[in-house]
Structure 1
Amino acid sequence: MSGGSVLKIWRRVTKLPYGNWLFSKAVCFKAPYFGSIKPYILELRDGHCSAVVKKRRKVFNHIGTIHAIAQCNLAELCAGVMVDATVPSKTHRWIPKGMTVKYLAKVDTDVTAIAEIPMPRQWHDKEDLVVPVKLYNTRNELVFTADITMYITEKK
């Protein structure tokens, strides 16, 4: 899955029964490490991706809350899927360059991530695109933020 084709695949697959689940599994097949958090992608469109991770033992830390690195994984997944679906794949490519995070509260419930950038926009060569990602608990409290820098370049 790459570029605009990701959005086309999303639109086609999510019309099927269990389409969101199937798409989420395909993303984890393409990038296996994300499978460790079992993400479920809720919504994908130009400039936007949201996904949820359920509170379960495999993502816990020693105090029974969702581990900090699991939160980072969810943030990177959302930002990456959104950028992959948004950046024009015929002319540009991208790679994560850095991430700054803030842990604002313990995550003691399922957690939902939202990655969003303003659209429409121009794409440039050698651009640092900062993607803000916010994570919320089921009480709609902001528990984590990340600014993920994606390096965008033109294809040669």
Structure 2
Amino acid sequence: MRKFIPQLSSPSAMIQVGWTKLKNIPGGNIIFSSLVSKYIPYTGSISPLVLSIESGQARVLLKDKRAVRNHLNCIHAIALANVGEFSTGLCLISQLPESAMAILTKIEIEYLKKARGDLVSEAIYQYQNAQQENEDHRITANILNTNNEIVSKVHATWRVRRK
């Protein structure tokens, strides 16, 4: 695995280089998702599958399986928050210069309908490289079911700072 993703100085560089190297090879998104899941163990607990990271957009699949379900036989609220946070983070971090880093400072979630079946979390955001020392970016992820209905919205605020 190390030959695909060299040791890099920042998470943004790891995401950008790793995705660029792996996205076009068969099963590359599975390898990338596994590497990120090992790097971020809590996010890895839901086994997200990165579908795409491009042009200020990130799409992540959350497979419906028993491990992410609740007692009501639908996807657990915190699994939804987890995949939403992950997609917003990928969306932002993939655009950051190597001299910047981001940390989540606030998360809000709206539950619009029962989440059943495989879900896709989609975050779209265009990062503007401002000159402020600390800047907040509020990014929304729409979590869609297989009928393309929004089941949840995750609003994540990320603070970007220069190293």
In which range does the TM-score fall when normalised by the shorter chain? over 0.9
Partner Cα separation in structure 2 for residue 65 and residue 24 of structure 1: 23
Pair 1:122-2:129 in alignment: yes
Map 1:9-28; keep pairs closer than 5 Å: 9-28=18-37
Q: 1:81, CA displacement in angstroms?
A: 1.8
Deviation at 1:37, TM superposition (A): 0.8
Find the residue that maps to 1:86 and give its secondary structure: coil
CA distance in 2, matches of 1:5, 1:67: 29
Out of 138, 151, 161, the position equivalent to 1:143 is 151
Separation in structure 1 between the aligned mates of residue 67 and residue 43 of structure 2, nearest angstrom:
13
User: What is the alpha-carbon distance in structure 2 between the residues aligned to residue 137 and residue 149 of structure 1?
Assistant: 24
Whether the 8 Å contact between 2:92 and 2:125 is mirrored in structure 1 is no
Structure 2 CA distance, aligned partners of 1:116 and 1:125?
A: 23
Structure 1 vs Structure 2: percent identity of aligned residues?
Answer: 29
Query: Runs of 5+ in structure 1 lacking a partner?
Result: none
TM-score, normalised to structure 1, is: 0.92
Give the stretch that moved more between structures: 1-10 or 57-66.
1-10
- Aligned twin of 1:131: 139
Q: Secondary structure at the match of 1:114?
A: strand
CA RMSD, Structure 1 to Structure 2 (Å): 1.3
- Contact kept, 8 Å, 1:4 with 1:86, in 2: the verdict is no
Match of residue 44, structure 1, among 37, 42, 53 = 53
> Post-superposition shift, 1:7?
1.5
Alignment of 1:72-87 (within 5 A): 72-87=81-96
Does the 8 Å CA contact 1:20/1:42 hold for their aligned counterparts?
Answer: yes
Q: Which residue of 2 aligns with 1:61?
A: 70
| Aligned residue in 2 for 1:102 | 110
CA distance in 1, matches of 2:152, 2:17: 30
Report the Cα distance in structure 2 between the residues aligned to 1:32 and 1:122, rounded to whole angstroms.
29
Residue 40 of structure 1 deviates from its aligned partner by 0.4
Tell me the CA shift for residue 153 of structure 1: 1.0
- TM-score, scaled relative to structure 2: 0.89
Residue pair 1:98, 1:148 contacting (<8 A) in 2 also: yes
Runs of 4+ in 1 over 4 A off after TM superposition: none
